[in-house]
Structure 1
Amino acid sequence: MNKNTYTIVIIYLLMMLIGIIENVKGPIILSIKTFYSVDYTMMGLFLSVGSLGFILSTFFGGFLTEKIGRKLVLLSGLLLILLGIIGISMAPNFILFLLFAFIMNMGMGSVEIGINAIAALVFIMNQAIMMNLLHFFYGVGAIISPNITVKLLHFNFTWQLVYLSVAALAFILILATLAIKIQEGQHIIKEKINYGEILGNKRMWLFAIMLGFYVASELGVGNWAVTFLREWYKMDNTISSLYLSIFFATFTLGRLFGGFIVEKVGYLRSLSVSSLCAAVFIAIGMLSKSLALFNFYFRFFYSIIFPTVIATIMKEFKKHVSAIIGITVTIASTINMFANFLIGKLNDLFGVFVGFSAILVFMIVVVFMSLILSQTIKKEVSE
């Protein structure tokens, strides 16, 4: 196996790890709520604090990949994940739990920036296909995570032991990451990055806002779907987690085949069509319990959005791509942070149906932003 092939395999596995960590929360969020005797607003705060950690790491991660190299950013992120998970599992009170959730998400942000930065280096041809395959492994992790979590709970694992099981996997991947070889010296950029120019770019803001509401909608389903099904439709934990797994299964199929569709249809058109279809399926799925499964089939349309946005950024921006991706993901994560808190607050004030409805609103915003972005880019090209 040559060094590029090994590197690609490792970043695919790391993306699977991110999928596992992100989606452990869904089946155990009620257990955490009960353990610390907090309300839904505090659970929304937990998700928002995690988003804040992700925000800070993606902001500095994009800068650091340009300065110290991709591999070091990746390894530092994995160490933060390990520290955060261990801390979460042992936190005696909710304040410390939030602190270690912050650290864990800082690690995930660093790992994601490192993965995307390495992908920009090793994915030379068919970037949409390669990026969708990369995020296909996120879907694999997302399918595995809720199923295994429920099984572990049935074997009388506490939610803390579930997290520690994930920590063991993270440790193994740290050892595997140590062996990747990247010629950092040829790619570390010494030229000063003009952040004012990047922040003044209209396209960057359109990408960031669209990505932010997409992430808020995607993670909103992962974080709150099981709670919604259990509280609103009175489903048991096994069935609701199965529905969530179906959601991620359709997502994974989309990631597996979506890149080929995007290359054929076009990046911008694919973003507009897929986000519209996702919004329609969410709306149908919320009409009744018998249609609830539609909430989880739309993941096929969700699946291509994130990797296609990143691939489009790679095509649209020729300089300082790592920094631009870092800033874009930072802004997107800021939007997601407030969105998660909003869903938790709406759950407490008006019930889980209204809270979950916010996810539909977020996706409608994505539809409009994709149309505006498409028109903006076409206009700039024509000029």
Structure 2
Amino acid sequence: MHTESETRTKRSLFSNYSLLLAVVFGGFLIFGFSENIKGPAIPRMQADFSLSEAQIGMLLALNSLGYLIACSFTAWLVKTIGIKLTTLLSFGSMVISGFCLYYSVNYSTMVLSYFFMYIGNGLLEIALAILAAQIFTRNTGTMMNLAHFFYGLSSIVAPLLAANLMGVHLFGASAELGWRGMYCLMLSLAILPMIPTILAKSPKKEEKHGERLSLKEYMKDKAAWLLVGVLSLGVVSELAIGSWLVNFLEKAYDWSSGESAGMLSAFFLCFTFARLVLGPVTDRIGYTLSLILLSAFSGLCSIAAVIAGEPGAFLFAVAGIGIAPIYPTVMALIAKRYPKESDTAITFTVTLMGIATVAGNYLIGLIIELFKNGFAEAAHPKAGLIAGLQAGYVFIGACALLCSVMSVWLYRHLKQRGALL
């Protein structure tokens, strides 16, 4: 029989575990909002400041740079001040960045505000990844996908909510809320998950089996670099869809803001459904094989959507099924392969992934601009823009296909060493 003190301890642990789950799930909800309200907002920002596609690409690249900088020091911050304070800091910085965006008056101040917001995003993502690796010790693939399901859940709502909020007249004001007010309002929601973060206790680190690796030793592992390649290519493709799909549909097919936001929401509906359903599948068939099949499916759908034209636009949404499990599956693989040093492994992988997203976002903008200028015709001035947008989207699909190729390489490497996961 359990003593009263043991029962009380178990209840306390369950209560703290519930609070930690609320932090992780709530954190991913906020992360989904902050990341994916930009789709409908970017065309309005572009119109307000008369920006070129290359400048938008630069904006997104600098955002990724802010994210990258945060990733580079978050693990150190967690070791210095703890996971709890780091998580609170990330939520707080996102709230502040919303007010900075509200008061941005030109391209430079907008870029700085966005840059600060992505520092908060980087802090939050690494902190949540480390926290999830510490508490999800069983059915890791399923639980990682479930946590990231909440990211997808808010991402479904984010584009439509953003598009509608920008047109709202709040408190009877004559002016619309616009993209500035929308960002301020949405990022202020980060206050909510701060509550369970304050109430929860940091999880106790269990003693785990496995060799403890230093960063130098970790960097000698070929699998570590292959994981960087897989994650980088997958995430560049995933984030690019959220950034460029609305722009593509509005300018290439003359869709309205609402219709374009609806398709982006459909993408995130497929994205979210996949994370909810495919998590147990990745645990069953193996993480590496899952990466090969799912990334190939996403890449083929994206390229087929461009080739098919407007009738095939639904394939942009279907691509979300394949790309959605890539990030959480890589995180699950890292947590299983490097159980004692998951924080080092996650920081290293996600930091280098950040470098790839900086390059990827800027490269997409340059590809669009290059093809736009190269194919522009006097008789059909829009032809160049359409060609540029199509070329940019083919590159997005190609990144997903390359992710599959890199996963095959990882599969062979792990299988040869009897370490296939």
**TM-score interval (norm. to shorter):** over 0.9
Q: Report the Cα offset of residue 62 of structure 1.
A: 2.2
Select which of 271, 281, 300 maps to 1:251: 271
Aligned residues of 1:84 and 1:100 also touching (Cα < 8 A):
yes
Q: TM-score, normalised by structure 2?
A: 0.87
Aligned to 1:130: 143
Larger Rg over CA atoms:
2
Conserved? CA contact 2:59–2:111, under 8 Å: yes
| Partners of 1:203 and 1:87 in 2: CA distance | 41
1:371 to 392, 395, 408: 408
Q: Which residue of 1 aligns with 2:286?
A: 266
Contact 1:120 1:314 in 2 (8 A): yes
Q: Deviations over 1:61-119 (max 9, x none)?
A: 12332343211221111122122221122112211211121111111111111111111
Q: 2:385 matched to 1:335?
A: no
Partner of 1:145: 158
AA paired with 2:348? I
Deviations 1:231-280 (A, max 9, x none): 11111111111111100001110111111111121111111111111111
What CA deviation, in whole Å up to 9, does each residue of 1:208-232 have, x standing for no partner? Answer: 1111111110000000000011111
1:242 aligns with 2:255: no
Relative distance call for 1:197 and 1:335 in structure 2 (3 A) is same
Which position in structure 2 is the counterpart of 1:55? 68
Aligned pairs, how many?
A: 380
Instruction: Report what 2:250 is aligned to.
Output: 230
Distance 1:319 1:124, change over 3 A: closer
**1:354 pairs with 391, 410, 416, which one?**
391
Pair 1:219 & 2:223 matched: no
Q: What amino acid is the match of 1:57?
A: A
The separation in 2 between residues aligned to 1:222 and 1:361, in whole angstroms, is: 16
Given candidates 75, 86, 109, the residue that maps to 1:96 is: 109
Secondary structure in structure 1 of the residue aligned to 2:409: helix
Separation in 2 of the partners of 1:123 and 1:145?
27
RMSD of the alignment, in Å?
A: 1.9
**Identity among equivalent pairs (%):** 28
Indicate the residue corresponding to 2:305 in structure 1: 285
Q: 2:327 aligns with which of 306, 321, 324?
A: 306
- Cα offset, 1:171, TM superposition: 2.0
Relative to structure 1, the CA distance from residue 202 to residue 361 in structure 2 (aligned partners, 3 Å threshold; closer, same or farther) is: same
Q: Which has the higher contact order (CA 8 A, sep 6+)?
A: 1
> CA separation in 1, counterparts of 2:284 and 2:418?
20
SS in 2 for 1:381: coil
Deviation (angstroms), 1:183:
4.4
Q: Which runs of 5+ in 1 are unaligned?
A: none
Measured after TM superposition, the shift of residue 186 of structure 1 is 7.6
Q: Which residue of 1 aligns with 2:98?
A: 85
What amino acid sits opposite 2:70 in the alignment? Answer: S
**Distance in 2 of aligned mates of 1:200 and 1:249:** 39
Contact 2:100–2:113 (8 Å) recurs in 1: yes
CA distance in 2, matches of 1:247, 1:16: 16
Q: Give the 3 Å change call, closer, same or farther, for CA 274–183 of structure 1 in structure 2.
A: closer
CA contact (8 A) 1:62 1:324 kept: no
TM-score (norm 1): 0.95
- Aligned residues of 1:215 and 1:333 also touching (Cα < 8 A): no
Whether the 8 Å CA contact 2:32–2:155 is kept in 1: the answer is yes
Residue 40 (str. 1) matches residue 53 (str. 2): yes
Match status 1:200 vs 2:220: yes
Cα distance in 2, alignment partners of residues 109 and 364 from structure 1: 26
Specify whether residues 381 and 237 from structure 1 end up closer, same or farther in structure 2 by C-alpha distance, changes over 3 A only. same
